Amino acid sequence: MYSSYTYAKCRREYGRQCKFNNWGPKLLENLIPEPGLEEQWIAKNPCHRSTLIAVDMSLHDINTIRAEYAERGINHVEGGWPKDVNIDDPEQVVRFRKKAEKDESYMQAVIQMSNLTEHFIHQNNSIDIYEPYFIDPDCQLLHTIAPSFRTVAIMSDTFASTRPVQNISWSPDQGSLVAISYANLEFQKADPLDSPNSLIFDLEDSTTPYLTIESQYPVAVLEFNNRDSQCLAGGLVSGQVCYWDIRKSSASVGISNVKSSHRDPVRSLRWIHSKTSTEFYTGAADGQVMWWDTRKLTEPTEVLFLDLSKSEKTDDPEWEKWARSHGVSCLDYDPAIPIRFMIGTETGQVFNGNRKGKTVFEKISGIYNCHAGPVYAAQRSPTFLKNFLTVGDWQVRLWSEDVKDSPIMWSKRHEMRLTDGAWSETKPSVFYTIRADGCLDAWDVLQKQKDPILTIKVSDKSLNCIKCHENGALLAVGDDCGKTYVIEMNDWFVTPGKNDKALMAAMFDRETKREKIIEAKHREMKLKAKTGPKETTGKDNQAKMAEAVARLIEQAEREFIELSTDKQQDDATKEEDQVDEVEEEAGFEDQFEL
């Protein structure tokens, strides 16, 4: 017989701290052997059952106590000076140093210390303490494995109704905070009862929000300050801009005036590299780009109308200027080029801007016809600043500033609409795109140009925005249901190879030269097409066309006749050969009969 025992434990007792003590051996029961029982033992052959004598063991996971770190400073005070010398008086310090340097004991002490210092200097120069002498074997295996990913966290909107994710921003200096803005920008579909607040999550505890950003209207764009992780700026659905300092409170510190703000929801916001780190600029569908300063948010510091019509009338009514302006769909700014910026429009064009210009045409230095519909993303490559990426309609395209008529590289047309894209911050050949069917595509241009390296099914709903972390491994993707997915890519998409940068530079240069040559040929063809009709009249053209057609007809008839005559000759020769063969066979038969 087998007896079983059930061990019961209450649920509330789980999760308590485990305490371990030093406990020596303890005798529970002593069984003395009985020799008489061995005679009653009968060996069974064959044996169909197995007996487990070992003790049953169970596995239990325990989380260690989280380490707490504290920052402490050291106050360094210069000492060793006599009491009668005031170190704040430079004249007394110089006088005392001259007196000490003339002492013989000082010279001997310097000579003794110089030998020891020289020894350590030579030793330090001979050894590179920053060189990786030993490489972790686990890191070496990562370069050989296939591309992969894993989902780190899913951050859901805490509000009852579903609000689409409109923008994601990572905190600077490789921080773990993620600012997410929620808003419904579809025409007449926004519920007035929806919460206008946005959320900030921490990756260490992604189940609950780290902080709630309070706002009067829904926040369409929310961005961390590039230098101060405690300050944020946002663009509202009402066209206004706000400024928050989370050290003070979750409410906004400043908000712009409605009259001097945008007339449509703010579509994009970027912080500007400046001395004060308080400037940013915004764009909206009303065709305006505005520069702001957080120290004075009542009105913008500068306004740019995207009206590029070369009209000589300066007294045009305001509604005509609004009608001619290009609506802004996205913005891009790279701190490495402080005076340059990029504007993606709803008409499918990308404007390359220069802030030093005074007029509209001086500020817009280049125009690129990128897509047939709105440009959803335009971003410069972090490694190659002359090249940028655009996402629109069903394609992603790579451009060069030197070529304005056509892209240097482009993907195939997808079946689903592309909604956003972003470059990898660490590997120059990798970029990511998201689609309306909830898929994320990871591209590596050096490996494949037609198809993505990896396709990830992130959500069942449409994906709206994507943001890459500074370390290159983490991606934050938001969907229509208010969920933000944090995905960690493996080393394939993070660590660049030794020659990746050189190969990418060579590829971009080669494709740029190729497009320049094609552009030059197209220009020559256009010039020939323009100058050709001027040299000859319409009647001459018709006569030449008739002569050319007649010449072609004659040539075709000549070739047809030649082919037909050759065929007749071939048929005649074949008949003669057949007759000769028949006669030879008849003569051979006559000889055989004789």
pLDDT tens digits for 403-425?
888 899 999 888 889 999 999 99
Residues 6+ apart with CB under 8 A from 384: 428, 504, 505, 508
Give residue 575's pLDDT: 52
For tokens 């000769």, the residue is 580
Residues 112-118, mean pLDDT to the nearest whole number: 86
Question: Which of 51-55, 74-78, 297-301, 321-325 shows the lowest mean pLDDT across its residues?
Answer: 51-55
> What is the pLDDT at residue 4?
57
Q: What is the pLDDT of residue 526?
A: 80
Q: Is the pLDDT of residue 310 over 70?
A: no
Q: Is 119 exposed, middle or buried (0-12, 13-18, 19+ CB in 10 A)?
A: exposed
CA distance 425 to 473: 9
CA-wise closest residue to 171 among 115, 215, 137, 210: 210
277: left (phi over 0), alpha (psi -120 to 50) or beta: left
**Neighbour-count burial of 25, counting CB atoms closer than 10 A to its CB (0-12 exposed, 13-18 middle, 19+ buried):** exposed
Over the chain, what is the mean pLDDT? 82
The span from the CA of 569 to the CA of 217, in Å, is 92
- Is beta strand 288-293 parallel, antiparallel or unpaired with respect to 430-435? unpaired
How do residues 526-581 score in pLDDT, each as one tens digit?
887 777 654 444 556 666 666 766 676 676 667 656 655 655 555 555 555 554 55
Residue in 537, 504, 502, 277 with CA at minimum distance from that of residue 381? 504
What tens digit of pLDDT does each residue of 258-284 get?
999 999 999 999 999 888 889 999 999
- What is the DSSP code string of 213-238? E--SS-EEEEEE-SS-TTEEEEEETT
Asked whether residue 202 carries a pLDDT value surpassing 80, the answer given is: yes
Phi, psi of 183 (to 5 degrees): -170, 150
434 DSSP β-pair partners: 420, 440
User: What amino acid occupies position 441?
Assistant: D
Q: Largest Cα–Cα distance of the chain, in whole Å?
A: 154
Q: State the amino acid at position 81 in one-letter form.
A: W
Specify whether the CB–CB gap between 219 and 234 falls below 8 A: yes
> What are the structure tokens assigned to 532, written together?
């050709």
Residues 245 and 230: their CA atoms lie apart, in Å, by 6
The CATH class that applies to domain 141-497 reads mainly beta
User: Cα(352)–Cα(378) distance, rounded to whole angstroms?
Assistant: 11
Percent of the chain with pLDDT over 90: 40
CA dihedral 445→450→454→460, nearest 10 degrees, is: 130
Place of tokens 């090249």: 387
Question: Is the confidence at residue 588, as pLDDT, over 60?
Answer: no
Rounded to whole angstroms, the Cα distance separating 328 from 340 reads: 16
When mean pLDDT is compared over 80-94, 302-316, 542-556, the highest value belongs to 80-94
Rounded to 5°, the CA angle 332-336-165 comes to 30
Measured between alpha carbons, how far is 419 from 413 in angstroms, rounded to an integer? Answer: 13
Confidence of residue 142 (pLDDT cuts 50, 70, 90): very low
Nearest to 208 by CA among 157, 263, 139, 270: 157
Residue-level pLDDT at 589: 41
Strand (E) positions, 450-532?
A: 454-457, 463-468, 474-479, 483-489
Q: What is the pLDDT of residue 166?
A: 93
Listing DSSP states for 413-440 in one string gives PPSS-EEEEEE-SS-TTEEEEEETTSEE
Q: What value does the mean pLDDT take over residues 97-108? A: 83
- Residue 75: the pLDDT is 78
* Residue bearing tokens 């390359």: 352
Q: What is the pLDDT of residue 57?
A: 72
**Closest C-alpha to 431, from 417, 421, 419:** 421
Q: In this predicted structure, what is the pLDDT of residue 128?
A: 67
pLDDT at 218: 92
- Rounded mean pLDDT, 159-164: 86
Q: Which long-range contacts (CB under 8 A, 24 or more apart) does 402-405 make?
A: 402/512, 402/516, 403/512, 403/515, 403/516, 403/519, 404/366, 404/367, 404/368, 405/369, 405/515, 405/519, 405/522
Q: Which range among 363-372, 510-519, 544-553 shows the weakest confidence by mean pLDDT?
A: 544-553
**pLDDT value of residue 2:** 47
C-alpha separations of 557 from 548, 551, 553, 560, 567 in Å: 14, 10, 6, 5, 15
Model confidence band, residue 593 (pLDDT cutoffs 50, 70, 90): very low
SS3 573: helix
Residues ≥6 apart with Cβ < 8 Å to 73 = none
582 falls in which pLDDT band (50, 70, 90)?
very low
Q: Give me the DSSP letters along 544-567.
A: HHHHHHHHHHHHHHHHHHHHHHHH
How far is residue 182's CA from residue 222's CA, in Å, rounded to a whole number? 9
Confidence of residue 69 (pLDDT cuts 50, 70, 90): confident
Spell out the residues 6+ positions from residue 100 whose beta carbon is closer than 8 angstroms to its own. Answer: 106
Q: How far apart are CA 315 and CA 205, in angstroms?
A: 58
Q: What is the reported pLDDT for 131?
A: 64
Q: How confident is the model at residue 592 (pLDDT cuts 50, 70, 90)?
A: very low
One-letter identity of residue 286: D
pLDDT at 276: 87
